[in-house]
Each structure stands twice: as structure tokens, then as C-alpha cells.
Structure 1
Amino acid sequence: MRFAAISSAVCVGLLPGASATIYYAGVAQSSGEFGAWSPTQTRGTGLPGRFGVDYSFISTSGVDIMTDQNKVNLHRVAFLLERMCPLEYGLGAKFNETHFDYFKQAVDYITKTKGAYAILDPHNYMRYNDPSSQPFSGSVIGNTSDSTAATTAQFGAFWGELAKRFADNGKVMFGLMNEPHDMPSSLLVSNLQAAIDAIRASGATNLIIAPGNAWTGGHYWTKGGSEANSNWIHKLTDPAGNLAIDIHEYLDQDFSGGHTECTQDPATNLAGVTAWLREHKLKAFITEFGGSNTTACTTMLNGILDYMAANDEYIGWTAWAAGPFWGTNSPCCTDQRQLGSLEPGSKAAGGGPSLYDTVWLPVLQKKVPELLQWEGPASVNGGELRTKP
């Protein structure tokens, strides 16, 4: 995520011929990217950071509640490229093995201990070498005019190595990058294709989730002239045929998730990208969306969830955000008020109910499908639906 009058009802909008199924539903686990922010934009801040002190990946108790009680089957797990591939190594196939082991423990807990699915989320905005002031700091990967930038080939090498390490776990999905922005769409496609090629060359057949440019916003997918995602992202090719599109869609005035008021009708704003998905016979996840605890946000959160459930282009979603290190802070949608997060057990700054209590339980929880995929590898075509075992 990036830091008026409201309709009384949200139109769901089922496209002709659609027969929709959500196979994967859950929450983004955000905390693995924490600890690097610097208000003075000091390069190298928080790197490598102290695991369990400056950042962490999941709370096992939070994952337990979400999976066992709330019956979600999907967790999106964020991490920083600069911790997985320290600056002294550079981006590529050489990892900090201690850091990777912490990450793998989190992913294995979700997928092997709890039997759910996990999306790997390099939370880097298609940038590498300086996460101090994300989402804008760091060099754009593949920018040949920047001598400090990691190359497209290095990005491919990174994904080839990461994929090889999870190739035997079909419950792991590869989210190629969080929210690329402010770069040529042709370069984005080159980077993404390099990653796809390296993943398949590693022998991994796991589901890949590819983002668009412009923060991968669904509302902007067909906008931006020649740079529009709708002109580029369908050019990606996957020899395994197991590729989905990654979309983010917030409901506030500027689609950033930074404001309390929900004013953007999701059915209207997603119409263009949904038609594009249908035209190119593609499927999608909305891996970030959210809203505050207002009445208007309740209406629009129901609207976006109903929209996905009604249109077969959408096969999964993760709400933003849970994670063990939010504390009383809110991940989105509160104008920086400290109302807690979607993490079970979190509290607002005053000790009152958190967004888990006021948004997840009364709104999002009711939209988690009773039948989801719990067995077999993740697939763009979905799998057998069943209640949680």
C-alpha cells in the first residue's frame, strides 16, 4: 500500500457468462519488511536488522487463529530483498542463509503445519539497495542508466534460486513483486519475464502471481496511455500455464489506503481490469485491499468482496493487513490513527477494539467462503473445494 458523496449500495456487476469461484482467501502478513524506515532517508537504516526485535514474519498464534478459527487458507508473507540478498552480495542467487531460514520457518508453518497456502511477497516496489524510505527509495531494478541498480538478470537469478528452494511445496505461490511504480512498463515486463523464465528453469511449477505498473492498481489498469498495464501485462508468457495477475485496490479518495473515508466504488473502478482479464483469459488475485471501521467502508468492503465472488476472473484475495509488529498502529485506512490492525489480539492505542475486532470479524470474516481449496498445489485453475479439514 501507499501511505465526497457515498453511494448507499454497491453494484456487484457480474459479467456475462461468469460463473465465479474464490479458491483462496486470507490476509497479508506484514512485518517482515519492518525496521528499515528512516525519517531522514538514511541509507542502510535497519539493515540487516534484528529478527524478532526490528522485524518478524508471522505470529504463529495469529496464524493459528486466522486459519483454525477464521478458516482462511491463504497468508501473504512480506520480506525485504535487502535482507534476503544483503548489499554486500548484491541481488541474485546468494542469500543470507540465516535470514532465509527464518523466512522458510514462517512459510513452512503456514503451509505444512497449518495446511494453508502462502504467497511470497518481496515488498520492494521493484527497487533494490535502499529501503530506508520505501516506497520511493532504492534504484529501479533493470534501470541501465543507474549504475547502482540491480539488473534484470540479477532479478531473474534471485527468483530462480528462491523458486528452487520452494519447488517441492505446491502450496507456496510466488508473488513476483509488491507494487512496482514509476518505471517504464516495458522494463517491468522484462523484469517479470526474466523472473518467470528463471522460476520455470529451476523446475518449479508453483503458481506465479505477476503485478502491474502504477502500484498494480486495478482502477488504473486501462489508464496511462501507452504505459497502461492493459497494453503490456498480457504479454507475459508462462510455459507452465500457471500464472495469475496481482491487483491492489483501496477504497479511499486516492486509492492509497491512507484515509479513513471510503469513497471509491469498487465495482465501477474494477470494471476495466475485469474486462481486460476476461479478454485475455487471465485470472487474478486482489492481494491488497482494506477499509476503516466506518459505515461507508463496511458497504464498500462488502462490495469488493461480493464483486470478486461474482466474477470468475478472481480466484483469491488477501486483506491488508495482519502481522505481529503492528502493535497499536494501523496498516491502512485510518488517517494514521492508532486503531490496531487485522492481527488477532491487537488493540487500539486506547486499549479499545482493533481493526481485527471492528473490520475483520464483523465484515471480512463473513465473506470468507465456507468452501476453499485445502489440498493439492495452488493452481490458476483452482482445485477441489471443501470445508477446512
Structure 2
Amino acid sequence: MRAHIGATRPSSFLSTLALCAALTLGACGGGSSGDGPAPSAPDASVSAVTETAELTTPGLRWRGVNLSGAEYNSTSLPGRYGYQYFYPSNSAVDYFQSKGMNLIRLPFLWERVQPTLYGALDQTELQRLVTFVNSTTAKGMTVLIDPHNYGRYRQQVIGSSGVPHTAFGDFWSRLANTFKGNPKVLFGLMNEPYGMTTENWVGAANEAIRRIRATGATNTIAVPGNAWSGAYSWTANFYGTPNAQAMLQIADSGNNLVFEVHQYLDTDSSGTTTHCVSATIGAQRLQVFTDWLRANGKRGLLGEFAAANTETCRLALNGMLAYMQTHSDVWMGWSYWLAGAWASNDPFSLQPVNGVDRPQMQVLQPYLN
């Protein structure tokens, strides 16, 4: 969970090589028809085989950032484009690519893309999404498209009578038909589901996966867990059946999944304060999920994490990055939260100010070279 400027989300130093080495050594511790134009893969040399191989080859394949804007003002629907929400610019993508990043996680709102359940996708909004995705993947970047809805549609939980699993599957069928020709697009099923049974979320996710594969799409699917998909709470039961148990029932006929978790460094892992518990907390909170991945032959993606500009937070951030690098047999990559033209005042932001890199970017940089 992470609150940020301009959005309505729920309470969802430069590192040295010596420190990296110490951390690494453990010293710290049936589809419907699609809507709109289906984008073609801009880079013909990139194939679905290549993308699938990334799931079986050790190493962090994706390293990037969440570019905010299209998910802003979720209580103002559809909202006024350019004033209440926006899609990121090409220059923003270029900046992060120049730093060595190869992944953009793109949050947007389900209701803006599909104003009515089971209805056609809104052509104007879809075109904004398609334009961003095509221009970004044409640069060689990967885009993880992220319905940033917390397991809800117009405030109703997926799996309720108002938003049945089939509605979620219908939405993803339409998105999959739009993007299945572009293997540089990752399908992030949903941002941080919460306030439901884990079994309900598994049913919703399986319906979406089934409908995606029914379109013929072979794209990698990123599947979150329940309870805001916290890495630290993967085996906990305070929210019901632990993700560690229920998520083993996720089924994909295409065998091309990653499990997406989020992890922040403050006391309750919400990312709502700039306090970091300790210099080692980042690596520590990834441990239980890492063990689960390895024990069950799964792959993971850290879809959100961040740190404020304090010494403790910078050290914790470095430790988290070093930990994933060390355990890259099961970790596929990460995307930092956040950046974007309206995020300059956020204490966690990577958005440069007057062309100057943020201190957090200095921590990330050794892991991008």
C-alpha cells in the first residue's frame, strides 16, 4: 500500500560496492471479441519465445519504475484528461531508459477503459493506453499494464454480485485481444486486491487468466496475492487463508506467470510514512516470499517498493536490491514506486527535479548498470 500525491489510493546514499557485497553474502541478516486496434509488436526480433525464456533463465530481467498519472483521481470518473489524470510522456520514458531501466509499470483505472461492465472499451481511453504502450515498447522497453483498482470496480469488490468474476474475465479478454500481438507487454491482473477472501481472489484471477489464454495471448501474466499482496505477509493468516496456500491454486494453461508482491519499509509495510524500520528491513521482509517461490518452483516480481531519502532508508533500499540480485533464480525483477510529472513532491519519488537525479536513483543505479 502506498499513498501518493494526486491519487486516491487506500493506505495501499549512494550505495557502495562493499555494502552490496556484505548484503549479498548475508551479513545483514472463452474470450469475447476485442475492442479497438490491436497493436503490432514494434520490434520484430522480439518473440514470445524470448519472453518465455526470461521466465526460465536466472537473472533479474526487468528493472524499472511505476509511472503514475493515469490512475489519479479514482473518485472522479471518468475525470478530465490532462487536469485530473494523464498518461506519461515519452520524455519520462526516455529518462528512465537512459538510466538503464527496461520496465515501466503503468497504473490506470479499469472504469476509464471500460465504463460499463461487459461493455466495449472506451475508444478514446483505449487509444491513450495503446499509444503509450506502443511508443514505449518500440524503444525496447517492457510495459506492465496495471489496472490500479485494489480488486474493485466502482467501489464494488470483484466477486460480489455487482462485479462477478465473469466481468473481470471479460475485461481482461478485451485487453488481451488488444495487446496479444506485443510480447513486450506484461499483463498485471490487478493492483493490490484486499478486503475479500483469498479464495475469492484466486477464483477471480483464474477466470481472468483463462479468458486471457482463450484469446491466444501468450504474454507473461503478473498475479498478485490478497491483502495488498504484501511480501512480508505471504504466509500470514490475518486476512484469511494465507496467500502461500491459496495461490498454489492459480492455474495457467500457458505456463507463463510471475507472482507480483509489493513491499514497503515502514512499521506496518504500508509505505504511508517516510520511516524505515532498520537498515536491513528490506531484505528481511522479502525472505518469506522468496522461500515460498523457491520451494514451489515459482517466479516473483516486486511490483512496488520505495524509500525516503534518509540514511537508514537508503541502506534498507540497497539491501533489498542486493537481496533480489542474489536470489535472481526466483526473482524476475522489480519496479520502484514512483515517478511521474505530478509526483515531484512525493518523498519517495524518482522524478528528477530540474534535471537533477533524486538520491534514491543513486541507490538504484549500480543495479541498472
Could you say whether these structures have the same fold, taking a TM-score greater than 0.5 normalized by the shorter chain as the test?
Answer: yes
Structure 2 match to 1:110: 136
Secondary structure of the 1:227 match is coil
Secondary structure of the 2:105 match is strand
Structure 1 match to 2:76: 46
CA 1:220–1:260: 2 relative to 1, 3 Å? same
Structure 1 match to 2:363: 363
Structure 2 match to 1:39: none
CA displacement at 1:345 relative to structure 2: 3.7
CA displacement at 1:93 relative to structure 2: 4.9
Structure 1 match to 2:282: 266
Q: Does the 8 Å contact 2:23/2:322 carry over to 1?
A: no
Which amino acid is the alignment partner of residue 334 of structure 2? W
Residue pairs, 1:223-372, within 5 angstroms: 223-224=236-237, 227-263=241-277, 265-311=281-327, 312-326=329-343, 328-330=344-346, 333=348, 341-345=349-353, 356-360=357-361, 362-368=362-368, 370=369
How far apart in 2 are the matches of 1:284 and 1:231? 16
How far apart in 2 are the matches of 1:198 and 1:28? 26
Which amino acid is the alignment partner of residue 120 of structure 1? I
Post-superposition Cα deviations, 1:230-271, rounded to whole Å, max 9, x if no partner, equal 011121111111000001011111111111121151222222
CA displacement at 1:71 relative to structure 2: 1.7
CA displacement at 1:116 relative to structure 2: 0.5
Post-superposition Cα deviations, 1:20-79, rounded to whole Å, max 9, x if no partner, equal 51011010111111133xxxxxxxx42111222211121211111111x20211000010
Which amino acid is the alignment partner of residue 118 of structure 1? V
Name the TM-score, length of structure 2 as normaliser. Answer: 0.82
Structure 2 match to 1:185: 198
Name the TM-score, length of structure 1 as normaliser. Answer: 0.78
Structure 2 match to 1:57: 87
Structure 1 match to 2:100: 71
How far apart in 1 are the matches of 2:230 and 2:303? 11
CA displacement at 1:325 relative to structure 2: 2.4
Q: Does the 8 Å contact 1:31/1:325 carry over to 2?
A: yes
Following TM superposition, the consecutive aligned residue runs of length 4 or more in structure 1 with deviations greater than 3 angstroms are 9-14, 344-347
Post-superposition Cα deviations, 1:216-242, rounded to whole Å, max 9, x if no partner, equal 000000011651100111211111110
Residue pairs, 1:141-156, within 5 angstroms: 141-144=158-161, 149-156=162-169
Structure 1 match to 2:151: 126
CA 1:319–1:240: 2 relative to 1, 3 Å? same
Which amino acid is the alignment partner of residue 146 of structure 2? D
RMSD: 1.9
Q: Does the 8 Å contact 1:55/1:325 carry over to 2?
A: no
CA displacement at 1:152 relative to structure 2: 0.4
How far apart in 2 are the matches of 1:94 and 1:295? 49
Which amino acid is the alignment partner of residue 290 of structure 2? T
How far apart in 2 are the matches of 1:85 and 1:285? 27
Structure 2 match to 1:220: 233
Secondary structure of the 2:112 match is helix
Q: Give the share of equivalent positions with the same residue, in percent.
A: 38
How far apart in 1 are the matches of 2:58 and 2:221? 20
Q: Does the 8 Å contact 1:75/1:119 carry over to 2?
A: yes
CA displacement at 1:85 relative to structure 2: 1.2
Post-superposition Cα deviations, 1:137-167, rounded to whole Å, max 9, x if no partner, equal x1111123xxxx2110010010011011000
Q: Does the 8 Å contact 1:62/1:344 carry over to 2?
A: no
CA 1:357–1:266: 2 relative to 1, 3 Å? closer
Structure 1 match to 2:9: none
Question: What stretches of structure 1 of length at least 5 have no aligned partner?
Answer: 4-8, 37-44, 130-137, 334-340, 348-352, 371-389
Structure 2 match to 1:80: 109
Structure 1 match to 2:44: none
Secondary structure of the 2:232 match is helix
